[in-house]
Amino acid sequence: MADVKYTKEHEWVRVEGDIGTIGITDHAQEQLGDMVFIELPDVGKTVDQGDEIAVIESVKAASEVYAPIGGEVVEVNEALGDEPAKVNSDPMGEGWIFKIKIADSAQLDGLLDEAAYKELAEGDA
């Protein structure tokens, strides 16, 4: 089973080997409401942990997506261009936003596990 970590900004990263699949959490999509547009990062872009990497727009607001780990973008979820609502219906599955080749796996140690994230999200509600 892939290891999933979370950020305090409500992103998740599922790690398989040296690739991290990244999206926003179910809690984040509930707070934002119906997604209407997602600005995806460019494949090949290199980012540092915490950099703004994408923008999601919902009926309520626009919100930045930050890179939970540093590395190079190797794939984006092109399906979100036509169906941004996938982020609402399946945020941790078909609603993933991009994949990154992880530059430093030690950065994962600073992220939250599922129990710690649930506690954070419940305090946010």
What is the domain extent for residue 19?
3-124
pLDDT of 124 over the 80 cut: no
Q: What is the per-residue pLDDT for 79?
A: 96
pLDDT in tens, 29-70: 999 999 999 999 999 999 999 999 999 999 998 999 999 999
If phi > 0 it is left, if psi is from -120 to 50 it is alpha, else beta; for residue 116 that is alpha
Least-confidence region, from 7-11, 78-82, 119-123: 119-123
pLDDT in tens, 88-117: 999 999 999 999 999 999 999 999 999 999
The separation between CA 52 and the C-alpha centre of its own chain, rounded to angstroms, equals 11
Total domains present in the chain: 1
Which strands form 62-66's sheet, in the order they lie side by side?
35-39, 52-58, 62-66
Q: How far is 58 from 105, CA to CA, in rounded Å?
A: 32
3 or 52, greater pLDDT? 52
pLDDT of 1 over the 80 cut: no
Q: What is the CATH number of the domain that holds 31?
A: 2.40.50.100
pLDDT of 2 over the 60 cut: no
pLDDT of 125 over the 70 cut: no
Q: What is the per-residue pLDDT for 3?
A: 83
H/E/C letters for each residue in 81-99?
HHCCCHHHHCCCCCCCCEE
Q: How far is 47 from 45, CA to CA, in rounded Å?
A: 7
